[in-house]
Amino acid sequence: MVEGSDARIGVFVCHCGTNIGGFLDVPDLVEYSRRLPNVVYSKDNLYTCSDTGLTEIKNAIKENELNRVVVAACTPRTHEPLFRSVCREEGLNPYLFEFVNIRDQCSWVHMREGEAATEKAKDLIRMGVARATLLKPQEEIEIDVTQCTMVIGGGVAGMTCSLSLANQGFDVKLIERESQLGGLLNSLHKLYPNNEDASRLVSKLKGDVKKNKRIDVLISTTVSNIEGFVGNYDVTVKHGGEDEHYKVGTIVVATGAEVYRPEGLYGYDGENVVTQLELEQLLRDGGLEANSVVMIQCVGSRDRDRPYCSKICCMNALKNAMIIKEVNPESQVYILYRDIQTHGTRYEEHYREARENGVVFLKYSPERQPVVEDGTVRVFDELLGEELILPFDLVVLSAAMVAHPDVKDLAQMLKVPVDESGFFLEAHVKLRPVDFATDGLFLCGCARWPCDIGESISQAFAAASRSSVILSAGRVVAEPIISFVDEEECSGCGLCEMNCPFKAIRVEETERGRIAKVIEASCKGCGMCGAGCPQRAISMKHFSDEQLVAQINALTGGGL
């Protein structure tokens, strides 16, 4: 394949509707691109990623004998794979494609900079073209996928996901750190919206899991180390002080969440002022004796520390309020709320039913929180515009759902991000809600965000599907972005081997002496070895020193 001065580059500048076109002078960019070295074709598209745009790229490759393609558009993080595929389909090696980000990192962040934004885009395109000129074709590496998934967390999400995968014919290792499966379900009484018995649901799930020969359940087990990459994860778990090792193809995080202990809030004491979770216990044990119950919503949620809404507390409060009313029709139940979260087709009617059954709803504002005193709750009713004093036997706090405190450890082992509230961060909030950005890792249930049982179940099936996609393929194609050693220059000093986090480069004895050799399947392509090699003997495929320096040169035009 040709490179360097034989490069024939096609540049496609996307309007992205008005997302780019509304802020940058796209026709100017097209003109500018055409005049860059090695560019033989330049065009704009309304949406380069649309079928029309993709066809234009394909036709341009054919008709202009392009051997490099540069697309200046949104961001490579979402669209690079698409354009690489298109190149591949047209017979062009997908690594001869370069993406220039002129939307997420240009038009969208310089909306009022006018010409300066277009000038920046020109610089970026010039840099991209310079890099494209030096790109070389790369061959992808195919690696076998271990036909097994590890599901971390044995609650409703973890069990559901495991069952679905097992039913599709895949082996599952279900890891649970407690001594029994079930998670939060074990502590619940009845489930909304139809007052299903929690113990019945959890027993069924546990029974199905136990019966299923493909699911290997490991209770009282925690994850202590995770290495590897998609299709080939090496997980070390701890069980009774012993380490065990498993090889799996994909991992699903279903570690759930917990209920915040509202210490110091509303006089919480676990006896007269309890959480909804503690109320579930009371209801289950039949030990509830209360004639006047005051429930307070948004405890620890929607505040400065946790600005998010925990989603499930309103329905949960409604459910428990109705149960209390059912057990004791004479009882008085108050729900002090900020907004009632009864979304969807099924939940609104419970709100209506509760009101019809005499549950009293009082709206309070966060600026004027209810005060729990001795035997009474003082609340300023926003709708009435006056303060009420409510006598109580029991105050129930709808406390926030929070991430487990040790989520950070697991996140670090997996090398995945968490958001500011401690919930795991998925690859894309809209279109990849159960994927992590790292291939082969998935997530579902409350570990992702507070959700109810039905939602956990949907997410669990979703994670099973995403996992199945990888396992079904049997093979993954690894990106060929790996290091390579110029053996003539290598002095065998071993610095690379010492520092490589993946043990992917080793110094070996050869006839020419000690030389560093890259283990291609293990190399992750970080480039740490290359940037540190004392002899400058190591570079990276697709991110070589020449390519990177060429980008810098293209930016500055050559010199001081």
Partner 1 sequence: MGEKPGSVLIIGGGVAGIQAALDLGNMGIRVHLAERAPSIGGRMAQLDKTFPTNDCSICILSPKMADCSRHPNITLHTLSEVTNVLGQAGSFKVSVRKRARFVKEKDCINCGACSAKCPVKVPDEFDAGLRTRGAIYLYYLQGIPPVMTIDKEHCLYLTRGICRLCETVCPRNAIDYEQQDEELVLDVGAIVVATGFDPFDPSVITQYGYKRIANVITSLEYERLICASGPTGGHLKRPSDGGHVEKIAFIQCVGSRDLYHNPYCSSVCCMHATKEAILAHEHDPNVSSYIFYMDLRAAGKGFQKYVARAERDYNISYIKGRVASITKDGDENPIIIYEDVDSSEPRKMAVDLAILATSLVPRNGVEGLAKILAVETDEFGFLKTDPFSPLNTTRPGVFACGCCREPVDIPECVLQASGAAAKAAEVLRR
Partner 2 sequence: MNSEEGFEPVILGFLCNWCSYAGADLAGVSRFQYPPNVRVMRVMCSARVDPTFVLEAFTQGLDGVLVFGCHPGDCHYMTGNYQTERRIVMTQKILREVGLSPERLLVDWVSAAEGQRFASLVSKFTEKIRELGPLGSEAVFEKEELVRRLKASSDALADDRLRWLVGREKELIEEGNVFGERLPQEEFDHVMLESIRREYEKNRILLSLGDGALTVKEMAGRVGLSTREVLKNLVVMEGEGLVTVSHIEGSSPKYIKTGG
Interaction residues for partner 1, span 38-67 (CB under 8 A)? 46-47, 49-52, 54-55
Of 17, 22, 35, whose CA–CA distance to 118 is shortest?
A: 22
User: Would you count residue 481 as binding partner 2 (CB under 8 A)?
Assistant: yes
Between 58 and 284, CB nearer to partner 1: 58
Rounded to an integer, what distance in angstroms lies between the CA atom of residue 68 and that of residue 38? 10
Q: Interaction with partner 2 in 58-77: which residues (CB under 8 A)? A: 75-77
Residue 6 three-state SS:
helix
Three-class DSSP labels, 294-340: EEEEEECCCCCCCCCCCCCHHHHHHHHHHHHHHHCCCCEEEEEECCC
Residue 176 or 455: the one with the smaller Cβ distance to partner 1 is 455
**Restricting to residues 434-463, which ones interact with partner 1 according to CB under 8 A?**
434, 448-450, 453-455, 457-463
How far is residue 518's CA from residue 480's CA, in Å, rounded to a whole number? 12
Task: With CA atoms as reference, report the closest residue to 497 among 533, 521, 542.
Answer: 533
Provide, rounded to whole angstroms, the least separation between the CB of residue 482 and partner 2: 10
Enumerate residues 219-248 that contact partner 1 by CB under 8 A. none
Using only C-alpha atoms, the chain has a radius of gyration, in whole angstroms, of: 29
With CB under 5 to 8 Å by kind, the binding choice for 274 among partner 2, partner 1, none is none
> Least CB distance from residue 450 to partner 1, whole Å?
8
- 28 forms part of the interface with partner 2 (CB under 8 A): no
Work out whether 477 is an interface residue with partner 2 (CB under 8 A): no
Q: How far is the CB of 337 from partner 2 (least distance, A)?
A: 30
Contact call for residues 428 and 396 (beta carbons, < 8 A)? no
Map the footprint of partner 1 across residues 140-169, applying CB under 8 A.
Answer: 164, 167-169
- Cβ proximity to partner 2: between 123 and 452 the closer is 123
Least separation, in Å, of the C-beta of 207 and partner 1?
A: 15
117 binds, among partner 2, partner 1, none (CB under 5 to 8 A by kind): partner 2
Partner that binds at residue 521, options partner 1, partner 2, none, CB closer than 5 to 8 Å by kind: none
Residue from 465, 491, 522, 535 binding partner 1 (CB under 8 A): 465
9 within 8 A of 68, measured Cβ to Cβ = yes
Closest approach, Cβ 31 to partner 1, in A, equals 22
Q: Residue 490 corresponds to which tokens in the numbers above?
A: 């290598």
Which of 354/550 has CB closer to partner 2? Answer: 550
Q: What CA–CA distance (Å, rounded) separates 538 from 494?
A: 12
Determine, following the binding rule CB under 8 A, whether residue 553 of this chain makes contact with partner 2: yes
Lay out the site mask for partner 1 across 383-422 (x = CB under 8 A, - = otherwise): x-x---------------------------------x---
110 binds, among partner 1, partner 2, none (CB under 5 to 8 A by kind): partner 2
For 79, residues 6+ apart whose C-beta sits below 8 A from its C-beta are 49, 71, 73, 99
CA atoms 58, 63, 69, 74: torsion sign: negative
Residues 442, 448, 452, 454: what is their CA dihedral angle, to the nearest 10 degrees? -20
List the one residue out of 480, 526, 535, 537 whose CA is nearest residue 499. Answer: 526
End-to-end CA distance of the chain: 35
CA distance 184 to 191: 12
Only one of the segments 50-58, 170-178, 376-384, 498-506 lies at the binding site for partner 2 (rule: CB under 8 A); that segment is: 498-506
What does the block give as tokens for 241? 């002080």
Output the CA angle 55-439-478, nearest 5 degrees: 70
Nearest to partner 1 of 131, 319 (CB atom): 319
Binding piece for partner 1, criterion CB under 8 A, among 73-81, 409-417, 531-539, 550-558: 73-81
Task: Using alpha carbons, select from 183, 247, 257, 171 the residue that is nearest to residue 219.
Answer: 183
255 versus 483: smaller Cβ distance to partner 2: 483
| 229 touches partner 2 by CB under 8 A | no
Return all residues near 186 (Cβ < 8 A) that are at least 6 apart: 180, 198, 202
User: Rule CB under 8 A: which residues touch partner 2?
Assistant: 75-77, 101, 103-106, 108-113, 116-117, 119-120, 123-124, 127, 411-412, 415, 417, 419-420, 425, 437-438, 481, 491, 493, 495, 498-499, 501-502, 524-528, 530-536, 540, 543, 545, 548-549, 551-553, 555-556, 558-560
